[in-house]
Structures are given as structure tokens and as C-alpha cells.
Chains A and B, each alone.
Chain A
Amino acid sequence: MNKVFTDGLSFALPLLIMAIGALYSEKSGVTNLAVEGFQGVGAFFGALAATLFAPLIGNGNQAIIYIAMVCAAIGGALFSCIHGLLCIRFRANQVISGVVINILSVALTAFCTSAANAAISGNASNKFVLDVSSKFTVPLLSKIPWIGGLFTDMYPFEIIIAVLVVVLWYLMNRTRFGMRLRACGENPQAVDAAGANVTRIRWMAVIISGALSGIGGICFAYSLLGNFSPSIYQGFGYLAIAAMIFGNWNIGPTTLACLAFGLAKSGGLQLCIAAKLPSNYTDLFLLLPYVLTLLLLIFFSRKNHPPKAAGEPWDKSKR
């Protein structure tokens, strides 16, 4: 039982940070299906940094994880500029831009990984092997019956993400920037008439979404995979978008949706183990989050209110 909570949380939090990334972009009025690509490219940058810096600061030094996270955020942010350029500067179709970026990122990172590996070690492997992240257990809290598992065997990044989520909620709901960002996604004309710069706000939102997705990606690389390889593209980005939609583009409910996905995934796996099913059934149980997505879609789609102006390029001359 504890294992369900422990694994569930370590899956839910990276998912959540990506979902909030998508949410920032969409709340500003830029539809963002490119989260999948952002997280992959972010993870690539993080893993590359880890591979390059690890020999310098000593193998096994945990600081490398933080360096990787910062680089992943920067990489994701840089890569998201393509989406910004297409959607904001050139007013391209935002859905197509997102899908194309996702396809592009798979090919791009696969090529760059083997090229980088060839240059570093002479062996053109398609993965960067990462160190194992240390884990820690919170004293006292981990002893709470039922939910103690949430505080057991935690990755350090989980704390960072939890803090980030609070900061991002505050930024979105309590500050001037957040207020204008939300207005941009509903009625950019109103923001423009009020004297704020719609283009700049949308650019910032897209870049934030790239950075957050990058962080999510490198966390998956460290926790789920232990390396960076094309298997980072498992559709977690799309799952994050689904969580955002179920959360009705609000950070609070989105958090709950991510936790539900996380627990469904780890619960399914533990169920499979507990039932002593042969290992080929695990794949079936790993479907759970996606089946859950399909079911939830039926119930949630009707009542949802996506940002009204999401997907519409901002054109000042249009009235």
C-alpha cells in the first residue's frame, strides 16, 4: 500500500509541473499540445548537462541533479521559442504547430543524443545513462497511517516541484502578471485596450510552459527511466494536457487530476504484483491512467470552460 503512494506521487508531480506548463500557455491564449516535445527536449538538455558535468564535479555527487534540472528548464524554454515564433509571431495554427514540434523533438533528440555520445565517448549510443537519484524519507510524517507512503522514499525533486506549484499558483492568481495572463486567454482585445502588451505576455507564458515541461521531463528521466533515451516519449505530455483539461484549466483541480493519474498507475502495477500475474500483464495494468482518461473525458468534457481565446492568433488590427 505504501508503495502505491510513494510511486504514485513520484509520477504525479512531474506530470503536474508539465500540466501547469501547458496551463500557463493556454491561459494566455496559446493552445499548447507541444508539452510532449518540450519535456523530451528539456530532458535531453538536462541529461546532456549531467553527462558533461558529472566528470567535473565527481561521479555520484547529487548536485548534478540540480544542475540537470536547471539545464532542462533552460533547454525546454529555448525549444518552446519555436512554438512561440510560429503561434505568436507568425500566427500559425497552434494545434499543428504543437503536433509538428512533438514529431520534430523525437527525431531531433535522437540524432543529437547519438551525435553527442559519439563526440564524448566515441560510442554513438542513443541514451545518456544518468546517476541514481538519492531518496529520503520524512521522519514522523512517513509514520502517519494510510498516507505515510506519500512521505517515504521521496526524490528531492518532488519537494522542488511542490514548492514551484505553490509559487506558480500565487503568480497566476494573485499577481498583476497572472491577472493579465488570464485576461489574454479570454479577451486579448480587452488587455490591449487596457494598455498591456498581449504579445509579450503570451511569449512569457509559452516560455514558462517550455521551462516547466523541461523540468518535468528530466524528473521522469531520473525517476522512471534512470537514463535519457527515446523512451522518454511515452505520451506523458499528452497525459499532462488531459490532466489540465480535467482540472478545467485551474491549478488546484489539475493537481487532483495528476494525483489520480499517479495513483492509478502505481496502483495498477501493485495490483498486478499482488495478484501474482505474469509480467506480460503489467503492460495491461499500465494502461490504467489512459483508460481513466477516456472515462473521465466522458464526464468532464461537457462542463469544461477552456480559455475563450485559446487557439486564436492575436491580431491587433482585428476588432
Chain B
Amino acid sequence: MSDYKSDYIVEMRHITKRFPGIIANDDVSLEIRKGEVYALLGENGAGKSTLMSILFGTYEPDEGEILVNGKPVKFHSSTDATACGIGMVHQHFKLVEPFTIAENIVLGVEPEEKKLGILPWVNIRKANQQIAELSRAYGLEVNPTDRIADVPVSVRQRVEILKMLYRGAEIMIFDEPTAVLTPQEIDFLLQIIDNLRKDGKTIILITHKIAEIKRVADRCAILRQGRLIDIREVADASAQELADLMVGRQVKFMLEKTAPQFRAPVLEVQGLTVKNEHKFDVVKDVSFTVHGGEIFAIAGVSGNGQGEIADAIAGLLKAASGKVLLNGKDITAMPVRERALAGLSYIPEDRHETGTIPDMMLRENLALREYYKEPFSRRGILHQEAFRSYSEQLIQTYDIRCAQGPETVLRSMSGGNQQKAIVGREIEEQTDLIIFVQPTRGLDIGAIENIHRQILQERERGAAILLISLELEEIMALADTIGVLYRGEILKIDAAEKMTTQEVGRYMMGVKEA
């Protein structure tokens, strides 16, 4: 018994964690071997991140115990976990933007020296050197003196990885690391993860993307609604099996899409330029046309001007130059409501900021496009009965799940149902043009299917659809035509069937002709 040595570097036993109203983890037990890539697969809200936040010391479990290297540990904060050799790359990076890369990496474990024997100071030059060496050793090229604010997401992620290496982490947790990356960057990251494993590190990968698991993971635990469903050897499990386990029912991977039937042009954008508050051109001379019955998708890495294009067409931002035509009519100078009446619907990126008024009731939110018209408003007086019956009708049609019916406060609903409400409200207007920006962000597979079906239905009806998404898979699945946006410019427009995912990915990184 005395020479008992665990085969496992991490054991989590019977972990239960409750938050007010939900059980995030329900009696979950995992054992992770040293030197393996262990994937946690599950939909949003399945409890993957919570479970790993417990391992990283951010939360304390209500029940259960954790063993690291066979020894029971109790983490009260991430500092305790770091001391045990556990590191984590969070989905939302924890970086200080005005600081340099090196400053971010050493934060919390700064190399402090004494000047003249008394004056303490942080020797950042030494840190720069150490980090340059470390980054070369692992193929994670960064320039330690660059400011975080000036570097792209993929470099920020490298900084987070270097942060763990600098602290000597042996167990590395990656929380949805590929969500923000282009296909090429994903390849690079998976290569890095593989290198880290070869170096003897243990990797835990939180994801809902099965393709990545198939490529890099050894074993995979599937979580659903806080419960551990199964643990599989990745080599023995098919992608379909894993998907079905994750969702809990049969998943259809392919959308049924009919051949496109383009009608007359609905939206024509001609030389559109949009400036941000620093007078910088965030959208540069963009031109494209969307026909009735066409899904025109704009692909691109986040922050390349997608949101601004949509806002400028919908009238939330002013165009610095260029023209926007709707059904041949110039709407460039029209205020938002007139554009909407001219036949434009908009599902904006941010559900809470622009899409809804989260603290008002569902019935009010559903009538945001109609409230000032009859029968909702008569001589300036609102008629609640009209709101109620209208919203009940939409709740039915669009399958919006809400605890208190039309009186449900929007904020209390799940993200998927909030999105269904917005989509329903906008589609109900039956406009000629519908703009979808990131329509499925943060939604689980069921809700994604629902919204994709709606988008295709509108296309059938003959509406022109402008789809802006960061999810390349979504674009490849839905689009008839793809435009790739890079630094505010459209580098390429082509029919979707003529382009591969890899090609689109290359344009997204600014590479023109190969």
C-alpha cells in the first residue's frame, strides 16, 4: 500500500456543483492519464467549463474530491491549482491590453530583483529574454515587447499558452480554443497541442467540435446537462456516435438544401465605406449584390468589419461613402425605421445590446417592429391585448420556450430562445431582405438546427439573405455565394460550390491568389 502510485495524473471523483436553480455538475468522475490528450465533449451548458473551473480552482465543488498525482488536493483559488502544475487557457483570454506580451506572461510571478540591494524592481528585460527562448522552444513565435492591444487573437492565444509554460504547468486545460481561429490557425494550434503531448504534458481539451477531437484527442468524455454520459477511446468511436451521444438523439449533419433559384437583385451595395470613431476605414469600398432566393454569406475573422457592414446597411451606422440600394431604391440616407419599412429585417450580432430590450417582457420584445402601428397603438395608447395575442401567435409559430408565456422577462430565457424570439420577430415581417449576423452564436445544436431551417425557409420564400458569420462551417453549409472579408475589404466573391473551406480560410487571413 505504501508504494501505491496512481496511474492517473488527475482524478476527479463524484464532483457535484450546484448554482442557484441548476446543477452544473452532477456526480461526475474522471480519470486522466499522464501525457494524454483528454477531450471533454458537450453542448453549451453541459457543464464542461464548470468542471474544469473546479479543477483550476476557480470554483470549489459542493461534493466530491480531486486527486493530483494520487494525492488529494483542495483548491481554494487558481493560485493553488497553479502551484500543483495546472494551467488553463480560458475561452475569454485573461490579458491586460496595454501591457506587453512579456508583462502579461510574468504577471503574478514577476522576476523581482533588488536594485542597489534595496530597491525592488521587476526585471522585465530578463523576462523578455526568457520568454523569447521559451517561445522558440515550443514553436510559439511571439515578440515579447509587443503590446497585447496590437496583436491578433491567434497571438493572444499563444501568449496564454506561454503563460502556462512559464509557470511550469504539466496539466493544461484548453477551453474552446478554436472558437476564435481560422482553419489554418486551428491546424497550427492542434499541432502545438500535439507537440506539448510529445513533451510529456497532459492536455484537457474542452470543445463541442467533434472533428478536432477526432484529430488530436486520445480519449473523450461526453457530458450532457451536467451528467457524465460516456467515456470513449476516440480511435474506436465514429464522429456520428460522438455527436449522437453529445446531443442525446440522432443528429442530422447535412442540411437539406434545394438548388438555388436566384430572382431579381434585392440588395445592391456599391462602394460602401464606413469609418469608425477614430476616422479609420473599417469597411473599405465594399460592393456586392444579393438576389431574391440567394443566401449571400460574408466570411471573415472577427473584427474585420462584418458588424459595421451590417450596421451600415441597416442604418445604425452612417456610410462615409458609397450607396446601398434596396429593390433598386437608394436607402443610403434613410433613417432606420424607413429602411425597415422599405423591406429590411435585421438580426444583429448582439442579442442584448441591439437585438432586444432584455429587461422587458417577451410580448413587448416581440412587438418591437410593430408596436407603433394599429392595432398595438391607437392614438398613442398601447393596447396590451394586441401585444398578448400577437406574441402568443409568434410563440406558437417559432416554438419559443418561455416559462411565463408572453409575460416572461426576456433576460430570464435561454440564449437559444431569445434568438428564436428575435428571428421570429424579424421573419414575421416577411421582408425582401433579411440580414443575419452571427445568428447561432452560443447556441446548442438543437437551436442551431432550428435557426438554420428558418433561414433556408426564407430563402425558399424568395427573400434575399445576407448572412454574416464567424463560423466557417455554418457559411459552407448555408451559403449560395460567399464573400470573404479581410480588413474591411472583400477579397473574393464566388459561388459557394466553387470554394473549399481551406480556400476561404486562406482569404480570411488576407492571402489573395495562391
A residues near B, CB below 8 A?
A: 170, 174-176, 179-180, 182-183, 186-187, 189-196, 305, 308, 319
Q: Which residues of A contact B163 (CB under 8 A)?
A: 194
13 A-B pairs in the complex with CB atoms less than 8 angstroms apart: A175-B112, A180-B108, A182-B99, A183-B96, A183-B107, A187-B97, A190-B94, A193-B90, A194-B107, A194-B108, A194-B163, A195-B82, A195-B109
Q: Which residues of A contact B92 (CB under 8 A)?
A: 189, 319
Tell me the complex Cα distance, A186–B96, Å: 6
Chain B's nearest CB lies how many Å from the CB of A218? 28
Of B82, B88, B107, B119, which one neighbours A190 at CB under 8 angstroms? B107
Chain A's nearest CB lies how many Å from the CB of B124? 9
Q: Is the CB of B108 within 8 A of A196?
A: yes
Chain A's nearest CB lies how many Å from the CB of B131? 15
Q: Which residues of B contact A186 (CB under 8 A)?
A: 96-99
Chain B's nearest CB lies how many Å from the CB of A150? 28
Encoded as 1 (CB less than 8 Å from any A CB) or 0, chain B from 93 to 118 comes to 01111110001100111101000000
B78 at the interface (CB under 8 A from A): yes
Q: Is the CB of A179 within 8 A of B97?
A: no
Tell me the complex Cα distance, A229–B409, Å: 53
Q: Is the CB of A193 within 8 A of B78?
A: yes
Tell me the complex Cα distance, A209–B104, Å: 26
Tell me the complex Cα distance, A190–B78, Å: 11
Known: A182-B99, A186-B99. 4 other contacts (CB 8 A): A179-B107, A189-B92, A194-B108, A194-B109
For the residues of A in contact with B, the DSSP-based class is helix
User: Which of B96, B109, B120 gathers the greatest number of chain A CB atoms within 10 Å?
Assistant: B96
Q: Which residues of B contact A175 (CB under 8 A)?
A: 112, 120-122
Q: Which residues of A contact B121 (CB under 8 A)?
A: 170, 174-175
Q: Which residues of B contact A189 (CB under 8 A)?
A: 92, 94
Q: Is the CB of A191 within 8 A of B108?
A: yes
Q: Which residues of B contact A191 (CB under 8 A)?
A: 96, 107-108
Tell me the complex Cα distance, A191–B104, Å: 9
Chain A's nearest CB lies how many Å from the CB of B6? 26
Of B77, B107, B120, which one neighbours A180 at CB under 8 angstroms? B107
Q: Which residues of B contact A194 (CB under 8 A)?
A: 94, 107-109, 163
Of B88, B108, B112, which one neighbours A195 at CB under 8 angstroms? B108
Q: Which residues of B contact A193 (CB under 8 A)?
A: 78, 88, 90, 94
B79 at the interface (CB under 8 A from A): yes
Tell me the complex Cα distance, A192–B78, Å: 8
Tell me the complex Cα distance, A189–B201, Å: 26
Q: Is the CB of A195 within 8 A of B78?
A: yes
Tell me the complex Cα distance, A195–B110, Å: 11
Q: Which residues of A contact B119 (CB under 8 A)?
A: 170
Tell me the complex Cα distance, A109–B79, Å: 44
Tell me the complex Cα distance, A187–B88, Å: 17
Of B77, B98, B122, which one neighbours A176 at CB under 8 angstroms? B122
Of B79, B99, B120, which one neighbours A183 at CB under 8 angstroms? B99
Residue in chain B with minimal CB distance to A303: B278
Tell me the complex Cα distance, A193–B90, Å: 10
Encoded as 1 (CB less than 8 Å from any A CB) or 0, chain B from 57 to 98 comes to 000000000000000000001110010000010101011111
Asked whether A179 and B103 contact (CB < 8 A) given A190-B94, A190-B96, A191-B108, the answer is yes
Q: Which residues of A contact B90 (CB under 8 A)?
A: 193, 319
Tell me the complex Cα distance, A135–B98, Å: 43
Q: Is the CB of A179 within 8 A of B122?
A: yes
Q: Is the CB of A308 within 8 A of B109?
A: no
Tell me the complex Cα distance, A117–B79, Å: 52
Chain A's nearest CB lies how many Å from the CB of B70? 24
Chain A's nearest CB lies how many Å from the CB of B110? 5
Encoded as 1 (CB less than 8 Å from any A CB) or 0, chain B from 327 to 359 comes to 000000000000000000000000000000000
Chain A's nearest CB lies how many Å from the CB of B320? 18
Tell me the complex Cα distance, A313–B248, Å: 40
Q: Which residues of B contact A179 (CB under 8 A)?
A: 103, 107, 110, 122
Q: Is the CB of B95 within 8 A of A176?
A: no
Q: Is the CB of B95 within 8 A of A187?
A: yes
Residue in chain A with minimal CB distance to B108: A194
Residue in chain A with minimal CB distance to B277: A302
Q: Which residues of B contact A195 (CB under 8 A)?
A: 77-79, 82, 108-109
Tell me the complex Cα distance, A193–B77, Å: 9
Residue in chain B with minimal CB distance to A317: B59
Of A180, A187, A305, which one neighbours B94 at CB under 8 angstroms? A187
Tell me the complex Cα distance, A196–B82, Å: 12
Chain B's nearest CB lies how many Å from the CB of A223? 31
Q: Is the CB of A176 within 8 A of B78?
A: no
Tell me the complex Cα distance, A180–B94, Å: 14
Asked whether A196 and B122 contact (CB < 8 A) given A187-B97, A190-B94, A308-B97, the answer is no
Tell me the complex Cα distance, A319–B94, Å: 10
Tell me the complex Cα distance, A182–B103, Å: 11
Chain B's nearest CB lies how many Å from the CB of A306? 11
Within 8 A of A (CB), among B289-325: none
Residue in chain A with minimal CB distance to B105: A194
Q: Which residues of B contact A180 (CB under 8 A)?
A: 107-108
Q: Is the CB of A187 within 8 A of B108?
A: no
Tell me the complex Cα distance, A193–B78, Å: 6
Tell me the complex Cα distance, A175–B110, Å: 9
Residue in chain A with minimal CB distance to B99: A183
Tell me the complex Cα distance, A195–B107, Å: 9
Q: Which 8 pairs show the lowest CB-CB distances between chains A and B?
A: A194-B108, A195-B79, A190-B94, A193-B94, A194-B107, A195-B108, A186-B96, A183-B96
Q: Which residues of A contact B112 (CB under 8 A)?
A: 175-176
Q: Which residues of A contact B79 (CB under 8 A)?
A: 195
Tell me the complex Cα distance, A176–B103, Å: 10
Q: Is the CB of A176 within 8 A of B104?
A: no
Tell me the complex Cα distance, A176–B120, Å: 8
Q: Which residues of A contact B95 (CB under 8 A)?
A: 187, 190
Residue in chain B with minimal CB distance to A193: B94
Residue in chain B with minimal CB distance to A171: B120
Q: Which residues of A contact B103 (CB under 8 A)?
A: 179
Chain B's nearest CB lies how many Å from the CB of A232? 35
Tell me the complex Cα distance, A219–B176, Å: 56
Q: Is the CB of B96 within 8 A of A187?
A: yes
